[in-house]
Structure 1
């Protein structure tokens, strides 16, 4: 049976500025210490729900870590690079067409 409780550690600690979140309890205290407007954001609510499910249900701590990381990076916008990998068609000629 998996270990349960708020004292469980993340596989990889989460670094937030100069602070390091090592256990589920550290992450929960960090979220509850946020300003009310930020704490009420849906991303933080989902992260807190994931923390509670992992702490009380005994699931993998990676789920809680993913929730916290998604909430921390919610303002990051992925840039689309249209000059990425180019299609190969039209470049290659068959021997009979040379």
Structure 2
């Protein structure tokens, strides 16, 4: 049977500013308390849509967690290293070169 409830807990709680969001209701209240300017941004709207789909249709809570984490980390830009990992043969000296 599919469980549809705001009280469903996440597998891993979401930690924000020293506060733990454990259930779907906690996340809903957190997003509802955001300032309107931030609440209306595209990432938060997508996160709320995922949250409502999980609650209404009984999907896995991981979908809502992914949406919330993407909205929380929307300004994070990962560092890109174009050089990448050096090949191991670039550091090794050959016997003929010694």
Q: Which residue of 1 aligns with 2:96?
A: none
Report matched runs for 1:41-52 at 5 Å.
Answer: 41-52=41-52
The two structures have a TM-score, normalised by structure 1, of 0.85
Q: Hey, what's the Cα distance between the residues in 2 that align with 1:44 and 1:85?
A: 36
Q: Please, what is the CA RMSD of the aligned residues?
A: 1.8
**Cα drift, residue 86 of structure 1:** 3.8
1:32 equivalent in alignment to 2:32: yes
1:15 equivalent in alignment to 2:11: no
Unaligned runs of 5+ in 1: 91-98
1:7-48 deviations in Å (ceiling 9; x for gaps): 100000000011110000000000010000000000000000
Count of paired positions: 92
Q: Which residue of 1 aligns with 2:95?
A: none
**Cα drift, residue 88 of structure 1:** 7.5
**Cα drift, residue 82 of structure 1:** 1.6
Q: Hey, what's the Cα distance between the residues in 2 that align with 1:53 and 1:85?
A: 41
- SS across alignment from 2:15: strand
Runs ≥4 in structure 1, deviation > 2 angstroms? 85-90
Unaligned runs of 5+ in 2: 91-98
**Cα drift, residue 89 of structure 1:** 9.1
1:73 equivalent in alignment to 2:96: no
